[in-house]
Amino acid sequence: MKIEQIESLLIGNGYVVRITTDTGLTGIGQTACWGYPTAVQSIVDVFKDYLIGQNPLRIEHHWQHLYRMAPFRGTAIMGAVSAVDIALWDIKGKHFEVPVWELLGGNVRDKIRLHLLSGGRTPEDNFKAAQAAVAEGFTAIKFDPITTDCHDKGQARMIQTAVELTAAAREAGGPDLDLIIELHRKLTPMVSLALAEALKPFDPDRQHLSPSPHRAKIHRALWQRRALRVYMGVPRVVGTGRPPVFAAGCGLGRRHLALQKNRRHRRSLPLRGSDPQLPRTADYRRRPAPRRLNSQLYYPRVHQRRRSPAQRGLSVRV
């Protein structure tokens, strides 16, 4: 069996690669690099010269070659490697007629929690979004309480607006709805602390901090202040995280998961509900890190928890 064709599919701001073999098997892969999908597409076009004619089952060899074939790294490169890697695992599952999670060692759960993304810009919008989340069966909602005009406001007004948005979600969802705060790196560390103190009465489940993810020491300092519960994928810095399957592929994600196997005190968040490939890879082993893909792909929901798929491969069609 050999790789015969590689297709690039841009779906909204998401990128999907479809790999076809000479035996007619197809594999679908997704990238986490939704900010620059055309960059990933260009990189995959470079990968084609190597991949066409290769045995798709030699996944580890291909991952290492694609990762090491050039001296530069970064999110776009890793996103492209990830998309190809996931597609190859999809093919391997179909070849052996088993779900991908079976190839990765078997599932440890049959369903996972999801969280709903809210784009509410006013307290009223956030109230309605939280109500809708509860009505649909979600037990967590994620939103950004810092509005797009935050830089035109004073700190007190900005924090007051964030408090109003968070209060509306808490009022609508009650204590059974977890609130996940996403700040998108808009604030300085000290303003992040001030906001965390202001949001304490509403008991947010986790907060995505404002500082750059590369500033590990700052994140650790904020976490040690215990002013807020931090979410980041840095196990030595914080207590909550998700391994980057869509930014590294199933193989590296699996190795990352193995490194975490003894860290049972660390907690994972509910996963995003808009990723069609999310339940197909390794999330039934240790919950990977999905990213948003604006597409119309359908997936089954059971009380806003995704069930472990029984179909061979990743059970995704494009």
**Residue 293 pLDDT:** 35
Mean pLDDT, all residues of the chain? 78
CA distance 287 to 131: 26
Go through the domains of the chain in sequence order and give each one's CATH number: 3-97 (3.30.390.10), 111-307 (3.20.20.120)
CB 130 within 8 A of CB 173: yes
Torsion angle, alpha carbons of 178, 310, 14, 208, to 10: 20
Q: Is the pLDDT of residue 32 over 90?
A: no
- Quick one: average pLDDT of 79-97? 95
d(CA 292, CA 168): 24
Sign of CA dihedral 250, 141, 298, 305: positive
Task: Give mean pLDDT, residues 195-224.
Answer: 74
Higher pLDDT, 113 or 18: 18
pLDDT of residue 25: 97
Give me the amino acid identity at 113: R
Read off the pLDDT band of 2 (50, 70, 90): very high
Handedness of CA 10, 11, 12, 14 (dihedral sign): negative
**3-state secondary structure string across 220-272:** HHHHHCCCCCEECCCCCCCCECCCCHHHHHHHHHHHHHHHCCCCCCCECCCEE
Confidence of residue 64 (pLDDT cuts 50, 70, 90): very high
The answer on pLDDT for 164 being more than 70 is yes
Contacts of 144 (CB under 8 A, 6+ apart): 181, 182, 183, 184
298: pLDDT strictly greater than 70: no
Q: Is 0.95 surpassed by the pTM of this model?
A: no
Distance between CA atoms of 232 and 93, rounded to whole angstroms? 31
Q: What is the pLDDT of residue 50?
A: 96
CA angle 81, 183, 148 (to 5 degrees): 105
pLDDT-wise least confident of 38-42, 201-205, 224-228, 229-233: 229-233
Segment 19-34 shows an average pLDDT of 92
Q: Is the pLDDT of residue 91 over 90?
A: yes
